[in-house]
Structure 1
Amino acid sequence: MTHLKTDLLAQVTPGPDRQSSYRPEVQGLRALAVLMVASYHIWLGKVSGGVDVFLLISAFLLSLSFIRKAEAGRALNIGRYWIHVFKRLLPAVVVVLLGVLTATALFVPKSRWSEILSQSWSSLFYVQNWALAENSVDYYATDQSVASPLQHFWSLSVQGQVFILWPLLFALATVIARIMKVRFRHAVLGVFGAVFAASFVFSIYETYTNQTYAYFDTRTRLWEFAFGTLLVLALPYIRLPRAVRIAAGWTGLAAMLSGGFILDVQGQFPGYVALWPVLAATLVILAGQTGSKFGADRFLSWKPLIRLGDMSYALYLWHWPVLIIYLIWRGREEVGPVGGTAIIGLSLILAYLTTKFVEKPLRSMAWVEKKQRRGILAIAVCLVLAAVPLAGWQGGLKIEAARLAADADRNNPGAAVLLPGYTDESDANAPTLPLPGGGEWGGSSMKTPDCDALTDGPTDDLLAKQCSHSMPEAGYDRTILVIGSSHAEHWLPAVNTMADKNGYRVISLLLTGCNFSGTESNGGESECDRFNVAALDYALTLRPDAVFTLATRSTVAGPRDVPVEGLSDTAAVLRNNGIQLVGIRDTPRFTFRPTDCAYEVGEDSAECEVQLTEVLDPTPPEGVSETDVRFVDFTDMVCPDGLCRPAIGNIFVYIDDDHLMGQYVRSAASEFERRFVEAVGW
């Protein structure tokens, strides 16, 4: 069997194991896959399945190399392999990171700098997928302008982690084969068959219970890599007639190109649905070189596709940041045909230059290849080139934030300026506090303040974010259970401040995009439905003194918010069990980021102000305060005097287009406590 020429996302096949022959149709398949990824991202705002093709063939190539080594009786040289891999990967990564940092300084509002700097570190050290998973980033968000320009590094992070893990598993298979006196291929089959089965089952389970996290979870993707390894083992035993191989090639190609349109990617990926692109790519590999002018391999071996395949790694690296920076710069949510074509064109130019002047020269540099320590030196140089500007920029932001925070209590009163009797003793010219460098926000949503896992918490996996925020050492007088989406979550700074002052315990149960109602609104099939049922069951078991959640749900489609469906019935159930439900009115959602606007044209500019009537009705929805819900309306503290401004009392109100800033919420804690206590009658 001939050896494939390169890895799919990164050309990382060890030099000594390269052979002169390769299968050009797979090189074309790689080009087609990256074009799918880019075009789906740019024009359709969808997931194509192209990355899954990358993952499969990446493992196929890696496995082929290690199996050949082991069967030839050669040492695996794991350390040498790791050095070789990351020496090949990092130069292009660093070039892209430096390009993103430059574009960020030029085109991205200052409010987003900390987020991008943090994700640059995650991308550089191949943990971006875990950072996105922990921040509950919505990979399917329709407004791509709020995404990180480095979000696509999640797949490279997964791949980098597998490049570390896979050689260790092959080493394990070698030990098993020696101890059990079995053929090496049988040991490989056992090890990677077990990985495939365990990861595949787990992927289906986690996709069903927590899809947002599952999308980025390395564990849910291992089966795709294991499938590539098992394919290497199976290929010598598969003999297909030429006509069947021709049909298989075209079937695989058609399935790969159409998967993003046919599949319910948004509701079921990765899970078992990811079998579609994996099996599609497998059919193309099985088809191989048919030698027929009617075979798919004839098209895939087309020279322009082959050349594009050579720079597909760089194209994947560049297309996403070019898209996101463009959207941020132009203030748009999506691109049209002309803008998308320009983005593809610029991405191709950058990919060509990166491949020609960075990847290829370093790949052919004999001086670096001769000794391992030179490879380590090359890796170290790459890390330093990215780390120095990153650390310097972050350090500058922290110094600025520390300087402004020194007089924050006096100069940055926030919501306190709205309270009766407030005496302004602050510096009228004091600057507004910048967005924090971390700890209270991240990605496109809130980042929950640190909290402790509960020893007596709910066992349901849907309640994965459950934790205790405030647990007085000398016991606690009352328990508050916070349930719901990130719009319930962004009130936690005020809830925690109240709890710390009065000796309450605070527990949160949170699921991104899911408002708590305690009922099933979609036949019990959705993740949110299952979360609601599990959260209500836990509340009835815990029996807190109060449950805090959203009473209404706002939208950007109109100036109305509506009651959360089913919440009044749930409030009645809780009341019958001695539990009060406090429901707060939802905050307005905007079509732009007020803080970004403030950074661009000034926080006092009329361009950044919105009349409350444009985003929310002046009064709550009819009937919401006449149920068993203890209703709290904080709209006057977010949009005082019917005007929504980006900053109040020298503190920004919002971190994005719909989530409140933790600093601002904390500045309103005393008024929040007054209204909360009034609602529950404590």
Structure 2
Amino acid sequence: MPPTAVGTRKAGFYRHDLDGLRGVAIALVAVFHVWFGKVSGGVDVFLVLSGFFFGGKLLRNALTPGTTLNPGREVVRLVRRLLPALVVVLAASAVLTILIQPETRWETFADQSLASLGYYQNWELAGSASNYLRAGEAVSPLQHIWSMSVQGQFYIAFLVLVVLCTALLRKPFGKRLRIFFVVLLTALTIASFVYAIIAHNADQATAYYNSFARAWELLVGALAGAVVGYVRCPMWVRTLLAIVGLAAIFACGWVIDGVNEFPGPWALVPVGATVLMILAAANRQADPHTRGRIPVPSRVLAWRPLVTLGSMAYSLYLWHWPLLIFWLSYTGKTAVNFAEGAAVLAVSGVLAYLTMRFIEEPLRYRAPATRPDAHRVGLWTRLRRPTMVLGSTVVLLGVALTATSFTWREHVMLQRTDGKELAGLSARDYPGAKALLEDAKVPRVPMRPTVLEAAKDLPVSTDDGCISDFKNGAVINCTYGDKDATRTIALAGGSHAEHWITALDLLGRMHNFKVVTYLKMGCPLSTEKKPLVMGSNKPYPQCYDWVQDAMAKIIEDRPDYVFTTSTRPWNIKPGDVMPGTYVGIWQQFADAGIPVLAMRDTPWMVKNTKPFIPKECLADGGDDESCSVKRSVVLAPRNPTLDFTARFPNLKPLDMSDAVCRRTVCRSAEGNVLLYHDSHHFTTTYMRTMAPELGRQIAAATGWW
């Protein structure tokens, strides 16, 4: 029997150069996150290596005659390997969330803690990415755990696949079982890659977290594990592969916008580069005569400091992101300078080492025989009892974290259940907009909705499913107000048109007109051929198609009036503006003889060009004054719609700015009522208080009452 190869363990297939590559990948991930706010491609390297190590090991066991696969044992190993460090980081993050972040973010943290522990965090984030009402939320300190969830789901699915195929096909296929697995994995990889391209083109933000769109990266690693032992090529070829692969990995973060391009075709760069690194030193497993002869880049990666960093990669990945986010939340900054970033990385490194050394390693091994230093049985025996205590502590910590998360969610749900009476609040105690418009007396009572109630204080049309989401291209019509009336107002556009449904519904029932909805999230009526999602500036091609369909439907239905927004905030300077792409819409309505109730858009709350969420400011100890913005920042001195009324007599300008802002400031609450449930959508409760003034303006524009 030949001696064990350099860089392998006695299991026969361990690669220290790939441990070093993992160290390089985590360094790139952390550095790009901390200082550049970019995706480095390092996570994609992790995914491929995870598929290679885990998938390759399972396949080798499956293809070894006489070997019995024990799925239960594999699951236990995964739990021992992955959960302890995760539980510790989640617990620490929970404490920091309570100490640093406002109460309004605790529910999201609780949801994502449970998602992280249950390994479905990627789907939780995919849902958030596609939810327009959550688009303004702060970045989560647990956002990075999406990749851990993808890997966990892959491990279980791949384990089931290999166990079933081995049980059913090992005897009939015999030595051809390897060929079967190669063909199967190739087919699954191609299918996942094609799906990733389709999902990327349809909705990149959600595809980024989609397990099926990411599966091909892990499958490529598993496929490499199935064939790597049969790869033979000259040293100069392997050296070239290593140089090209390593260079591509280092360059990926600089030349590719991974946040917007992954998991589409550009992800082939880090994935392909990792496969090149796997193949570069493949000969040392395949041919005993070439063991020890590995390319220089692979030899460098096997350097002990890089291998050590690679062994810390999991813990370092878990720690660095929450520490960065909590520091930014604590300081109120949007980025760190060099010294702050270095401090975050240093603390992350220390915590990662301690986590690896005193939590991961003691709990990963069950008995002396499984330890690399098994000959030191005496020491290990003395350590077993403390290890049992440590394991029990981690389990209790996980149970406590789960229970706390569920308890907080129940508390918030109870608060919101009590909030159903918001529709019946006393107008005397909660005058809302009347405090600005009529100088109504404002008694000393608690603000409603509370900061916890606000997130669910939404228009009825949202709850009824009467607004198309980002993926739905259908024009959905729902009817509100007096449903039997002959007079009709078409409510059309995005969510900033939608939140007026509360007041329009009340007015319609009072003054005998019906309101028919034509709404799509984040999609105001516009002739823009390449629209973007406001705030994130992500491409939104579905919006253009929907507007064409909605306009055709509105013109065909011929309502008495169309109610829609006529302005938007500037992206480059203070105030608001009527975009040039709205002009074509006014022309189409003018040609069809349909008048437009053109509502000036909601003031978008911003500070230092960044979205400002009043409820979070209030939850963090602020008041109506400190949690306010200057009116001149969010609104122009004059309604921009007025500049177009001479050209388009069908425009009937509506402006509710004085019901929202004072002469110089726009506050977070007026008349004991919270204005916004995020940074730019009114609460339904405040909208009710604006109904009388909106009715006065509509009456003046239409002459209906």
TM-score band by shorter chain is: 0.7 to 0.9
SS in 1 for 2:129: coil
Deviation at 1:503, TM superposition (A): 6.0
TM-superposition CA deviations, 1:503-541 (whole Å, max 9, x none): 645353224xx6541331589x98334531343224424
TM-superposition CA deviations, 1:609-646 (whole Å, max 9, x none): 33201332132226255545554333223213342112
In the other structure, the counterpart of 2:528 is 519
In the other structure, the counterpart of 2:248 is 255
TM-score normalised to structure 2 length = 0.80
TM-superposition CA deviations, 1:249-306 (whole Å, max 9, x none): 1211110111121124344322111111100111111112785686111221121111
AA matched with 1:641: R
SS in 2 for 1:326: helix
Range that drifts further, 540-549 or 642-651: 540-549
Deviation at 1:331, TM superposition (A): 0.7
Deviation at 1:429, TM superposition (A): 3.6
1:180 and 1:472 map into 2 onto residues whose CA distance is: 69
Picking from 623, 633, 642, the partner of 1:603 is: 623
Picking from 602, 612, 620, the partner of 2:639 is: 620
1:488 and 1:399 map into 2 onto residues whose CA distance is: 30
- 1:218-367, aligned counterparts within 5 Å? 218-288=211-281, 291=292, 295-366=296-367
TM-score normalised to structure 1 length = 0.83
In the other structure, the counterpart of 1:12 is none
Unaligned runs of 5+ in 1: 7-16
Change (3 A) 1:347 1:487: farther
AA matched with 2:322: P
Q: Does 1:119 align with 2:116?
A: no
Question: Contact conserved, 2:320 with 2:345, CA < 8 A, in 1?
Answer: yes
Question: Contact conserved, 2:7 with 2:302, CA < 8 A, in 1?
Answer: no
Deviation at 1:662, TM superposition (A): 5.0
1:18 and 1:669 map into 2 onto residues whose CA distance is: 76
Question: Contact conserved, 2:197 with 2:265, CA < 8 A, in 1?
Answer: yes
1:401 and 1:438 map into 2 onto residues whose CA distance is: 9
In the other structure, the counterpart of 1:9 is none
Question: Contact conserved, 2:493 with 2:564, CA < 8 A, in 1?
Answer: yes
2:326 and 2:185 map into 1 onto residues whose CA distance is: 40
Picking from 570, 580, 589, the partner of 1:565 is: 580
Question: Contact conserved, 1:549 with 1:582, CA < 8 A, in 2?
Answer: yes
In the other structure, the counterpart of 1:585 is 600
In the other structure, the counterpart of 1:186 is 179
In the other structure, the counterpart of 1:413 is 430
In the other structure, the counterpart of 1:553 is 568
Deviation at 1:147, TM superposition (A): 0.9
Deviation at 1:652, TM superposition (A): 2.7
In the other structure, the counterpart of 2:162 is 170
Unaligned runs of 5+ in 2: 285-291, 371-383
Picking from 520, 537, 545, the partner of 2:549 is: 537
Change (3 A) 1:254 1:677: farther
In the other structure, the counterpart of 2:95 is 102
Change (3 A) 1:498 1:394: farther
Question: Contact conserved, 1:173 with 1:187, CA < 8 A, in 2?
Answer: no
TM-superposition CA deviations, 1:4-47 (whole Å, max 9, x none): 999xxxxxxxxxx9837621111111111111111111111111
TM-superposition CA deviations, 1:312-342 (whole Å, max 9, x none): 1111111111111111110101111111111
Question: Contact conserved, 1:132 with 1:216, CA < 8 A, in 2?
Answer: yes
Picking from 462, 465, 469, the partner of 1:449 is: 462
Change (3 A) 1:347 1:582: farther
Question: Contact conserved, 1:31 with 1:309, CA < 8 A, in 2?
Answer: yes
Q: Does 1:643 align with 2:665?
A: yes
1:274 and 1:31 map into 2 onto residues whose CA distance is: 20
AA matched with 2:493: I
Q: Does 1:508 align with 2:524?
A: no
2:446 and 2:619 map into 1 onto residues whose CA distance is: 15
Question: Contact conserved, 1:94 with 1:385, CA < 8 A, in 2?
Answer: no
AA matched with 2:140: S
SS in 2 for 1:532: helix
SS in 2 for 1:147: coil
TM-superposition CA deviations, 1:137-185 (whole Å, max 9, x none): 799x9x9993111111221222222222222222453466369857322
Range that drifts further, 623-632 or 308-317: 623-632
Percent identity over paired residues: 32
1:114 and 1:495 map into 2 onto residues whose CA distance is: 32
Change (3 A) 1:79 1:483: farther
Question: Contact conserved, 2:415 with 2:452, CA < 8 A, in 1?
Answer: no
SS in 1 for 2:520: strand
Change (3 A) 1:106 1:375: closer
TM-superposition CA deviations, 1:108-137 (whole Å, max 9, x none): 122322222222222222222222222227
AA matched with 1:615: V
2:10 and 2:514 map into 1 onto residues whose CA distance is: 66
Change (3 A) 1:33 1:574: farther
1:179 and 1:239 map into 2 onto residues whose CA distance is: 29
Deviation at 1:52, TM superposition (A): 0.9
Question: Contact conserved, 2:192 with 2:215, CA < 8 A, in 1?
Answer: yes
1:566 and 1:118 map into 2 onto residues whose CA distance is: 39
AA matched with 1:94: V
SS in 2 for 1:117: helix
Q: Does 1:157 align with 2:149?
A: yes
Deviation at 1:378, TM superposition (A): 9.4
Change (3 A) 1:200 1:294: closer
